[in-house]
Amino acid sequence: MEGSESDGGVTPIAKWKNDFSRTFQYYLDRSTPHTIERWLGTLAVAMIYVLRVYYVQGFYVISYGLGIYVLNLLIGFLSPKVDPELEALDGASLPTKGSDEFKPFIRRLPEFKFWYAITKAFVVAFVLTFFSMLDVPVFWPILLCYWIFLFFLTMKRQILHMIKYKYVPFDIGKQRYTNKKSASSSGTQETEG
């Protein structure tokens, strides 16, 4: 019974799956610092999907489901990990004055997981377009209008939430402070240099 599963041996399929998983995770980890390249790759995958849907003139329900899923991911990406509304009930809240403790914005869905989930969603949707039983005939302009309506409604709610609790989910980079001197002292420095 050498090499059998009852002996504790590993089957070739399990070994291949483990090797593939490790290799995939290795390249996924190596892609982490390359944000722009990752998003460009996702944009390429999305364009391939859009071309596929345009070429076959169908699979609008799959596209609608993909759009709803991406919208859900976007809400998670723009939301703080700890909801300020719930935190306010506990007595703690986001800093509102300069003397309050600084709390950095931590996303509910980090950028890397957001990217990975969107990329997987486009790949899965692309694969689903090869199954004709999933091509449900629908009047796609209604789905598009409804998705746009949902998008604006949820974004309005999210933006109002951001304004109410004074948080910005975007990191524009390191904040730089300029030297605030009077105009007369800055004029003398320019003539000296």
- pLDDT tens-digit map of 177-189: 666 655 555 555 5
pLDDT at residue 154 above 80?
A: yes
For 131-142, what is the mean pLDDT? 90
Predicted local distance difference test score (pLDDT) of residue 43: 97
Structural domain count of the chain: 1
Asked, for residue 76, whether it belongs to a domain, the answer is yes
Question: In angstroms, rounded to a whole number, what is the distance separating the alpha carbons of residues 147 and 136?
Answer: 17
Asked, for residue 62, whether it belongs to a domain, the answer is yes
More confident call, 186 vs 79: 79
- The runs of H, that is alpha helices, within 35-182 are 35-56, 60-78, 84-89, 111-128, 140-165
Asked, for residue 98, whether it belongs to a domain, the answer is no
Check residue 7 and report its DSSP letter.
G
Please report, for residues 16, 79, 83, 96, 177, the alpha-carbon distance to residue 163 in angstroms, rounded to integers and kept in the order given: 51, 12, 13, 12, 24
pLDDT at residue 9 above 80?
A: no
Predicted local distance difference test score (pLDDT) of residue 106: 77
Task: Quickly count: other Cβ atoms within 10 Å of residue 134's Cβ.
Answer: 13
For 95-121, what is the mean pLDDT? 79
Check residue 80 and report its DSSP letter.
B
3-class SS of residue 58? coil
Q: Which of 78, 54, 64 is nearest to 159 (CA)?
A: 78
Residue 135 domain boundaries: 35-84+106-169
- Per residue in 47-72, pLDDT tens? 999 999 999 999 999 999 999 999 99
Asked, for residue 10, whether it belongs to a domain, the answer is no
Q: Which pTM was predicted? A: 0.72
pLDDT at residue 98 above 80?
A: no
Residue 166 region by backbone torsions, left for phi larger than 0, else alpha for psi between -120 and 50, else beta: left
Question: In angstroms, rounded to a whole number, what is the distance separating the alpha carbons of residues 29 and 72?
Answer: 25
Asked, for residue 75, whether it belongs to a domain, the answer is yes
52: tokens are: 């596929």
Confidence grade of residue 193 (pLDDT, cut at 50, 70, 90): very low
